Amino acid sequence: MNILVTGAGGFIGGHIVKKLLSHGHKVRAVDIKNLNEWFQVFDKAENISKDLTIKENCYASCKDMDEVINMACNMGGMGFIENNKALCMLSVLVNTHMLMACKEYKIKKYFFSSSACVYNANKQNKTFIEGLKEEDAYPALPEDGYGWEKLFSERMCRHFLEDYKLDVKVARYHNIYGPNGTYDGGREKAPAAICRKIINANIKKENSIEVWGDGEQTRSFLYIDDCVEATLNFFHSQHHGPINIGSEEQVSINQMIKIIESFSGNKYNKIYQLDKPKGVRGRSSNNNLIKKLLNWEPKYSLKEGLFKTYNWIEKEIKKKHNQ
């Protein structure tokens, strides 16, 4: 197949390109960033830097393709999405123009990467909650900015399926983490941020780390290899979603810190920053639907995935220190 992957210079997109190439597909990889800023670049792919908020670029990218996996959006951890609501909402242009181009070129399959941020905030007020089921997105009260864009784009995908029979696939990601991703600069998510803080404290021989909030807020986190497997299983299925792609292993930030501390061999005083963005109080995935439809569940425990992530970030940080 000729497959277009947008957001290919990003974290999940880069891992998906790698897997598709290993399966023998021809991949056109597109991202707004310059090639030297991509997390992963593969010589076997057709690598293009283009702004996909522009309609003409979406049409040019889709031409001669069989399938499209759309990972392109402005996103990051809670600090980024709470402070860049307008920028996050502009991602609706990418999905809008991609859907129009897919209709024009009769693309066989279209995947849209949505988020657990679409879920109703009133269902996420406690620390440890029941896993969120796909129907819990309505009545709608998503994360402001980023969550609203994702939910609106989901609806657009649904109507392109209903009105134009475009074979759309919509997945809601729950906190994907792992190597070859953002770990500093403001867009990183909690697992990478905590790994970075502990690694830096180790290197500098400091005895404390800063923690956003009180550390009791909870999430579930899915390792990148599990995410890619679930995504491609879903993409090649006859199902349309929306469907959760996440883990049911819910932990507090404090619990996750303890796991990461065990890799460093040290314990740290925690300086809680209660004025920092925290997001909802508790969030976790309910995987009943994906188990039923695809017989899928994660292979990696949180500790296993964090260990791999910690080691990769440690190597990257030490490289910078030695430069």
| Radius of gyration (C-alpha) of the chain in whole angstroms | 19
| DSSP letter for each residue of 148-199 | HHHHHHHHHHHHHHHHH---EEEEEE--EE-SSS--SSS---HHHHHHHHHH
Q: In the structure, how many helices (H) and strands (E) does the chain have?
A: 11, 13
Packing angle between helix 146-164 and helix 92-104, nearest 10 degrees? Answer: 10
Please confirm, yes or no, whether 173 is among the known catalytic residues. no
Return the amino acid letter for 230. A
- Rounded-to-integer distance, Cα 228 and Cα 286, Å: 18
Q: Which of 246, 260, 241 is nearest to 310 (CA)?
A: 260
Return the amino acid letter for 225. D
Exposure class string for 235-273: b at 16+ Cβ within 10 A, else e: beeeeebbbbbbbbbbbbbbebbebbbebeeeebeeeee
Strands 2-6, 67-70: pairing is: parallel
Q: Which of 110, 119, 146, 177 is catalytic?
A: 146
- Return the SS3 of 229: helix
User: Residue 238 has which token pair?
Assistant: 């006859």
What is the set of active-site residues? 146
